[in-house]
Structure 1
């Protein structure tokens, strides 16, 4: 019994000792915390962004940077290198955002907030290549930045001016461990006003800048598509934006990594904001949006042409109303005679007679049109038949053949009008419907073959009509191709 009491007493002593030590620990921790805080004021980290202390005489203009690259190229170099011993900066505004995934490891900066803010520096923009994801967390849209150019290289990639680290004749990325030494944040986040411009007015000077297109829509043949979620969208989705004002077009480019890639393209018409750029291979102009909030297509009055369809006839008529195989035309001269109206609405290229042998042979003498290397900003050419009276007989049909020499960005349509007055000035104001049943060669078709239109039924149309073959270039003369036409016949 005495032993048990001794053990019990020892436990009691140990318990009291533990309690005493616990109290001492709490008191010590309290004293330690109190010693780290002044007057119970718990300070938050200082998140203030200070204006970088850069001498004003060390900040150059975008135009001067561009001129330096042009001078280097004139001397036979691909790039312009800014020496490590040079103290040189530019300041601009971020107009790209990778938050939705449509941009990746790059910043687009431009030198103007808006075009109502005049400066001596023309409106320009540059792409900065940085090996860092989620750049918009640091450099959000509208953030004014100062770029330390010392040790960087200026060049061209994918058709636009790029700033990065020199890698031979190429432009490499600024790396993660150093990018904040080159891209300096300022406290200012500006409201960026896009330049409102029409598609046909865009020039190289607008590349890498934030623009807005009004009164535009996605081409009617692509309304069933997503932004970039189709099986053939390998790296990017390309959808055609067309102007309701003058039918000019530009390609909407969307990355297959964008979080909105699987959304259906907007069905209505309206305005769209984005960065004007070039495609990966520098073949054609593109518009790249930061997110779908850049698109406001809220007008349900689309500007699609009227679509006319009587179907495909089972057989071609045996009585002819109009025909031409162009064999009486003069080679390399504009198509003329036989009632044709050969009208150039825009540009310098019209329909002409030609003959060729070899893998892309003509059918004797054929008609062709194309804007390739024309240097035209816009190309629209019409070849219109004489008037055809569809009331004097029944079961009229149309047939023709088409071929192409890599049509690429250009387009050809077959149209019909019942109200054209026969004058060139009246072409643009007349009502033209698309004969949707007629097959026209596609860019994916073999360039060495001729393709039948099918026997296009015209029997559901009445009155006196005109049939037009209309060529429209994309505005990219180095990318547009050529269409060829022959063996036209209207019968009943």
Structure 2
């Protein structure tokens, strides 16, 4: 180890000499931690705990963190960024330099002296940087740590054991995993995203591809058009994928370091139970606004009231109520994309509902063979499906979701539409109003 240290010191001195005599800009390797009394005095999780949502905060109390580099710009998918992870959490660090991977390789343990640095959010993700750009008063932006300050803030402790990727299911993907190295199993690209380029290498644009869990749920793989593997095509099979987990707004995302992170060596999803023809849990839809999902229809027959996306206890649902409309008659439709039933058998529909302040508004589940999917569903012919719907929570929100039961669809054939139809009112004496709030979640259609 002594000779290794002497070698590193010699190399650093040699590099510094070249910097002084060269006109070409190069970036210093991080100073080597010499085993002094300098120690980490906080954790990455503590940074998250101390952060106020929406704020930019500067460090002034000599905080020091340590962690292992789990991602960098080696293949140009992480732009001017390294990701640091300790035993408690992980965070991205914006650094104003290119070729960061040469001096901050994956597996290196760093100590980061935070004094003078800043933390703030981008798309809901907490990051570390060197300052804040306030030139636009409506949009402040965290800026990278200047290259001249790398040696002040970052100290190399040496190479360490890379953290084992945390294996998580779709339902375990929450804010606490931001920037963490994770592995997702039993997953595949959506059929429409197979054999597609990982990124847009021609126009240098970031590309998003849907990754579908075999048991239901979607995350999106984001790849920069500058990534060295942007022109590689996505595989057709299924398996596991490793990467850095993130969120942008409401969208759950993953970024890989290189294509070795994608191990799709199996056939397309093999199910231990029924095949999933359709699944929607609304987790990718932005909350507190009218529900808008491609190929879904959200229509108001009367009362001008639409289904909304509501978030409650980190769970997003489709929500509908006549409350506040002051309308005599409220009729609202939420219609699934068309489902083809000719290519399967034993189809079943299931979903969850929850009611709140129940005073008699209605929620029906309907199926149509002749709705054209282009609007005005009230002009089509619909059959009522026998489902269990939440009811009776007159004093507030029901404590749990109600399971619909498995609704048999095998008696139907061809292209069908399934709709949630709400009927209510919000005029007259309080006792006569029918403005129950209904939540709908985890809509699934399976087949044998």
What is the CA-CA distance between 1:107 and the residue it aligns to? Answer: 1.0
Give secondary structure in 2 for the equivalent of 1:46: helix
Question: Which residue is 2:411 aligned to?
Answer: 464
Q: Which residue of 2 aligns with 1:239?
A: 209
How much does 1:57 deviate? Answer: 5.9
- Hey, what does 2:70 align to over in structure 1? 95
- Uncovered stretches (5+) of structure 1, i.e. residues with no partner: 1-42, 113-122, 308-342, 348-359, 382-401, 426-437, 442-448, 455-462, 472-481, 483-492
1:414 to 2:391 alignment? no
Please tell me whether residue 301 in structure 1 is matched to residue 268 in structure 2: yes
- Cα pair distance change 1:346/1:80, threshold 3 Å: closer
Question: 1:267, CA displacement in angstroms?
Answer: 0.8
The structural deviation recorded for 1:278 is 2.1
Alignment of 1:369-388 (within 5 A): 371-373=309-311, 377=315
Query: Contact 2:245 / 2:255 at 8 angstroms: preserved in 1?
Result: yes
The alignment covers a number of residue pairs equal to 316
Q: 1:155 aligns with which of 109, 112, 120?
A: 120
For 1:345 and 1:129, locate their aligned partners in 2 and report how far apart those are by CA, in whole Å: 33
How much does 1:364 deviate? 5.1
**Counterparts in 2 of 1:306 and 1:44: CA distance versus 1, 3 Å:** closer
1:446-470: per-residue Cα shift (whole Å, max 9, x none)? xxx669xx9xxxxxxxx83365638
Q: CA deviation at 1:55?
A: 3.0
Describe the shift of the 1:276–1:364 C-alpha distance in structure 2 as closer, same or farther (beyond 3 A). same
Q: Deviations over 1:369-402 (max 9, x none)?
A: 6645466636699xxxxxxxxxxxxxxxxxxxx9
| 8 Å CA contact 1:52, 1:185 repeated in 2 | no
**Alpha-carbon distance between aligned partners in 1 of 2:96 and 2:181, rounded to the nearest angstrom:** 23
The one of 247, 250, 257 aligned to 2:226: 257
8 A contact 1:225–1:265 mirrored in 2: yes
Q: Distance in 1 between matches of 2:211 and 2:34?
A: 41
Kept after mapping to 2: 8 A contact 1:128/1:162: yes
Identify unmatched segments of 5+ residues in structure 2: 1-6, 13-30, 135-139, 284-297, 320-331, 353-370, 381-409, 421-439, 441-448
CA spacing shift, 1:424–1:255, aligned 2, 3 Å = closer
Q: What's the counterpart of residue 192 of structure 1?
A: 163
Confirm or deny that 1:68 pairs with 2:33.
no
Q: How far does residue 345 in structure 1 lie from its aligned partner after superposition? A: 8.7
Please say if residues 415 and 469 of structure 1, whose CA atoms lie closer than 8 Å, have aligned partners that are also in contact. Answer: no
Asked if residue 46 in structure 1 is aligned to residue 21 in structure 2, the reply is no
Matches within 5 A, 1:30-45: none
- Structure number having the greater strand percentage: 2
Larger Rg: 1
Are the aligned partners of 2:204 and 2:224 in contact in 1 as well (CA < 8 Å)? no
Deviation at 1:184, TM superposition (A): 1.1
Q: Does 1:125 align with 2:125?
A: no
| Secondary structure of 1:221's aligned partner | helix
Q: In the aligned structure 2, how far is the partner of 1:257 from the partner of 1:238? A: 14
- What is the CA-CA distance between 1:220 and the residue it aligns to? 0.9
Q: Which residue of 2 aligns with 1:78?
A: 55
1:340-489 superposed matches below 5 A: 362-363=300-301, 371-373=309-311, 377=315, 412-416=337-341, 418-420=345-347, 464-465=411-412, 467=416, 469=418
Where in structure 2 are the equivalents of 1:312-351 lying within 5 Å? Answer: none
TM-score of the aligned structures, taking structure 2 as reference length: 0.59
Counterpart residue number, 1:175? 146
Cα drift, residue 99 of structure 1: 1.3
Give the CA RMSD over aligned residues.
4.5
Q: How far apart are residue 143 of structure 1 and its match?
A: 1.0
For residue 173 of structure 1, report the CA deviation from its aligned partner.
Answer: 1.2
SS at structure 2 position matched to 1:150: coil
Counterpart for residue 278 of structure 1: 247
Relative to structure 1, the CA distance from residue 224 to residue 141 in structure 2 (aligned partners, 3 Å threshold; closer, same or farther) is same
